[in-house]
A = this chain, B = another copy of it.
Amino acid sequence: MSEKKKMTIIVFSGDMDKAYAAFILASSAAAMDMDVTMFFTFWGLNLLKKGGLQKAPLSKMNMFGLGKMMMQKNMEDANVMSLEALFRDARELGVKMLACSMTMDVMGISKEDLVEVDGYVGAVEYLSHAKESQINLFI
């Protein structure tokens, strides 16, 4: 019987800034010895595509890509890891990553399009994790 605290994050958005928030929260929680499950659905699935983390747009002030470049420069200056490094970090810390099988169908995404994940599942599987978790976020 596990006494670990648990967190789930529904990653609905594919935006770079929200992806940063999601991965930083997930990695921090895993480093605190929590069980963390991320459920990627709708636009969030784009982050799991091969090469997708580099392509994530910024949700705000994204005029001509300037906002995104400035954000990335500021991230580097502040010693914040890149999305790719945050993703690898989360993986190594044991964060479980699940892809939403329904939206894969809807958006025409195949398993081959995605990086390696821990499962292709539906809402029921997500809910079975969330109902046993202390923290559940929709990002």
Contact = CB atoms under 8 A, between A and B. Distances in A.
Contacts of A105: 74, 77-78, 80
Interface stretch (A91-99, A112-120, A131-139): A131-139
A134 B135 CA distance: 8
A131 B5 contact: yes
Count class of interface residues, chain A: 35 or more
A77 B7 CA distance: 33
A138 B17 CA distance: 13
A44 to B, nearest CB: 10
A13 B35 CA distance: 26
Closest 6 CB pairs of A and B: A78-B105, A28-B123, A137-B138, A5-B131, A74-B106, A130-B135
Interface of A: 5, 7, 10, 12, 14, 17-18, 20-21, 24-25, 28-29, 31-32, 34, 41-43, 60, 71, 74-75, 77-78, 80, 102, 105-108, 122-124, 126-128, 130-139
29 contacts: A5-B131, A7-B127, A7-B131, A10-B21, A12-B17, A12-B21, A14-B60, A24-B102, A24-B123, A25-B123, A28-B123, A28-B127, A29-B127, A32-B124, A32-B127, A32-B128, A34-B131, A43-B60, A71-B106, A80-B105, A127-B135, A130-B135, A132-B134, A133-B134, A133-B135, A134-B136, A135-B136, A137-B137, A138-B139
